[in-house]
């Protein structure tokens, strides 16, 4: 053998071999990540690209690819409009986007799996960067999922319904379920345990987690769930399919497609994204919520989320919200309070001290519009979900989060870096070990952690995570939340 060949063999022997894993559709190659032995596998297809005739259809089986698919460090986000905060995702968005990312401490073993569903009002955002989290240093496998957004992921259309026995909409939720099926079929090859999968998400991602809890077809796909600031419909009543189809009619009128799903499928991406910004629902407070009001499509969600949750199997759940999330701007109190509280509007007005010249804003809850918005959109529906699930025999753990990295008032999504990046607070406490303990056992408590009491219908306990640490508390926001009935 020549000296050059011997040298090549020596170099090869001294270099780590790339990690290649066979999955549904082909083989994928991982990249090394920070953390001893950690590996990243990004941009793995879990379904066929939803292009052309596959628009507004359930996700189809993944198409096999030849050779080895390398780690896709910058896989496209799903199509979305530019809202400013999501500009990086908007610039790298594409219709061929049904992929997921995996981060694992190693390919051997049988570890708990945590599957992240990103937020963004079901119309923006991506899985981008999620698997940079070193939460896997604590011995879990992390998966982050991309799903169709906005008009592409949630539009109910009469033509699509005619093709699907009268059902339409919620394709983004179906994408998430397809990704969870992929996890069941493949995650053992990444060192994960398919029998111990926890789904978790924030905002719209949290709402979608709650809808996966409700959906009959998703019940065998995961074992536990964590809801961070989002529940079915965000306090809005569910949308009957007939009302959803009326939004599809708006799309037809805007795009001059005459009710034809075939014609709609031929419209350009830019035309569809432009139409998405103009779609409206007369029963919501802002069109930014158009894809947050839950549509009962008749198939994936055959009945209302409340009815489905009342018959769903009892599974361990963490549910919570932040002390101050967001409101919807100025509030017309004379119409808003009766719409939300019915005959309790006068009591609600007194509770919030509307019109009281001596009222001072709570420094942690914020102005009254923010306090009210956080109550009806986030805090009170979270309590309703906790009460419903606990009443069904589920083990439920409720929290409120009140921290901001700049030391000011908390805000929507403020808890995410405390989960993903293991930021400490208070007396050295951290959210991450609670989340990982829950993924392991269904109980967030563990050695060395302040006790987190279980939420029960009789004792509606919660913990407050704030600058003082971890403080157990009683029922949140009595009596105002008892006046709101929506999940």
Residue 376 DSSP symbol? I
Q: CB neighbours (10 Å) of residue 329?
A: 10
Distance of CA 306 to the CA centre of its chain: 18
Please tell me the distance from the alpha carbon of residue 318 to that of residue 56, in angstroms, as a whole number: 32
Helix axes 241-255, 269-276, angle to 10 degrees: 130
pLDDT at 428: 84
Q: CB neighbours (10 Å) of residue 130?
A: 21
Task: Give the fold, CATH level 3, of 28-483.
Answer: Rossmann fold (3.40.50)
* Confidence check: pLDDT of 397 > 80: yes
Q: Strands 424-425 and 224-228: what pairing? A: unpaired
Cα torsion 227, 228, 233, 234: sign: positive
Q: What is the dihedral of CA 119, 416, 200, 153, to 10 degrees?
A: 10
pLDDT at 485: 74
Cis peptide before 270 (omega within 30 of 0): no
Q: What is the mean pLDDT of residues 404-409?
A: 90
Please tell me the distance from the alpha carbon of residue 453 to that of residue 217, in angstroms, as a whole number: 31
* Confidence check: pLDDT of 403 > 50: yes
Please tell me the distance from the alpha carbon of residue 330 to that of residue 370, in angstroms, as a whole number: 9
Which CA distances in Å does 93 have to 65, 78, 122, 152, 204? Answer: 21, 5, 14, 13, 19
For 65-88, write each residue's pLDDT tens digit. Answer: 999 999 999 999 999 999 999 999
pLDDT at 16: 59
pLDDT at 407: 87
* Confidence check: pLDDT of 7 > 70: no
Q: Model-level pTM?
A: 0.96
Q: What is the mean pLDDT of residues 124-133?
A: 97
pLDDT at 190: 98
* Confidence check: pLDDT of 150 > 70: yes
Q: Which helix (H) or strand (E) holds 276?
A: helix 269-276
For 196-241, write each residue's pLDDT tens digit. Answer: 999 999 999 999 999 999 999 999 999 999 999 999 999 999 999 9
Q: Say if CB 128 and CB 83 are below 8 A apart.
A: no
* Confidence check: pLDDT of 4 > 60: no
Please tell me the distance from the alpha carbon of residue 145 to that of residue 170, in angstroms, as a whole number: 16
How high does pLDDT run on average in the chain? 95
- Confidence band of 336 (pLDDT split at 50, 70, 90): very high
- Confidence band of 14 (pLDDT split at 50, 70, 90): very low
Q: Strands 462-466 and 469-473: what pairing? A: antiparallel
Residue 46 DSSP symbol? -
**Which residue, 206, 165, 197, is CA-closest to 300?**
165
Q: Say if CB 443 and CB 395 are below 8 A apart.
A: yes
Categorise residue 169: left if φ over 0, alpha if ψ from -120 to 50, beta otherwise. Answer: left
pLDDT at 3: 46
* Confidence check: pLDDT of 10 > 50: no
Alpha carbons within 13 angstroms on the beta-carbon side of residue 148 total: 29
- Confidence band of 447 (pLDDT split at 50, 70, 90): very high
Helices (H), 342-444: 345-352, 368-374, 380-391, 416-420, 431-441
Q: What is the mean pLDDT of residues 87-99?
A: 98
- Confidence band of 400 (pLDDT split at 50, 70, 90): very high
Percent of the chain past pLDDT 90, that is, above it, reads 93
Q: What is the mean pLDDT of residues 425-432?
A: 90
For 297-325, write each residue's pLDDT tens digit. Answer: 999 999 999 999 999 999 999 999 999 99
- Strand residue runs (E) in 219-323: 224-228, 317-322
Q: Which residues contact residue 2 at a Cβ distance below 8 angstroms, ignoring those fewer than 6 apart?
A: none
pLDDT at 36: 82
């Amino acid at each position: 053998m020549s000296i050059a060949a011997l040298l090549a063999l020596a170099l090869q022997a001294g270099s780590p071999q790339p990690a290649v894993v066979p999955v549904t559709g082909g083989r994928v190659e991982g990249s090394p990540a920070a953390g001893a032995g950690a590996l990243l596998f990004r941009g793995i297809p879990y379904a066929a690209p939803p292009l052309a005739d596959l628009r507004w259809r359930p996700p189809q089986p993944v198409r096999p690819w030849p050779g080895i698919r390398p780690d896709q460090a910058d896989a496209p986000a799903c199509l979305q409009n530019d809202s400013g905060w999501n500009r990086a995702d908007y610039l790298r968005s594409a219709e061929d986007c049904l992929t997921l990312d995996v981060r694992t401490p190693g390919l051997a073993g049988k570890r708990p799996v945590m599957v992240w569903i990103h937020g963004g009002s079901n119309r923006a955002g991506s899985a981008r960067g999620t698997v940079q989290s070193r939460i896997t240093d604590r011995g879990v496998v992390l998966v982050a999922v991309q799903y169709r957004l906005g008009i592409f992921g949630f539009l109910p259309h009469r033509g699509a319904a005619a093709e699907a026995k009268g059902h339409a909409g919620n394709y983004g939720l179906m994408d998430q379920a397809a990704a969870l099926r992929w996890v069941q079929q493949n995650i053992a090859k990444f060192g994960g345990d398919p029998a111990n999968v926890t789904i978790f998400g924030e905002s719209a991602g949290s709402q979608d987690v709650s809808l996966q809890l409700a959906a009959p077809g998703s019940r065998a796909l995961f074992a536990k769930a964590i809801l961070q600031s989002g529940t079915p419909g965000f306090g809005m009543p569910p949308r009957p399919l007939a009302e959803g189809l009326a939004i599809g009619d708006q799309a037809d009128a805007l795009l001059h497609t005459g009710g034809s799903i075939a014609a709609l499928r031929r419209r350009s991406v830019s035309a569809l994204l432009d139409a998405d910004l103009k779609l409206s629902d007369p029963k919501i407070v802002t069109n930014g919520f158009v894809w947050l009001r839950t549509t009962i499509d008749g198939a994936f969600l055959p009945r209302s989320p409340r009815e489905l949750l009342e018959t769903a199997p009892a599974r361990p759940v963490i549910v919570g919200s932040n002390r101050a999330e967001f409101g919807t701007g100025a509030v017309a109190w004379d119409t808003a309070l009766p719409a939300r509280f019915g005959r309790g509007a006068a009591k609600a007005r007194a509770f919030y001290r509307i019109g009281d010249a001596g009222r001072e804003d709570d420094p942690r809850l914020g102005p009254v519009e923010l306090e009210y918005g956080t109550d009806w959109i986030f805090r009170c529906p979270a309590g309703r979900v906790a009460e419903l699930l606990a009443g069904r025999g589920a083990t439920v753990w409720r929290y409120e989060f009140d921290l901001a990295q700049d030391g000011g008032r908390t805000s929507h999504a403020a808890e995410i870096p405390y989960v993903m990046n293991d930021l400490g607070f208070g007396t050295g406490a951290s959210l991450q070990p609670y989340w990982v303990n829950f993924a392991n056992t269904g109980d967030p408590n563990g050695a060395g952690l302040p006790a987190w009491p279980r939420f029960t219908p009789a004792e509606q306990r919660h913990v407050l995570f704030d600058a003082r640490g971890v403080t157990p508390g009683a029922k949140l926001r009595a009596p105002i939340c008892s006046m709101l009935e929506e999940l």
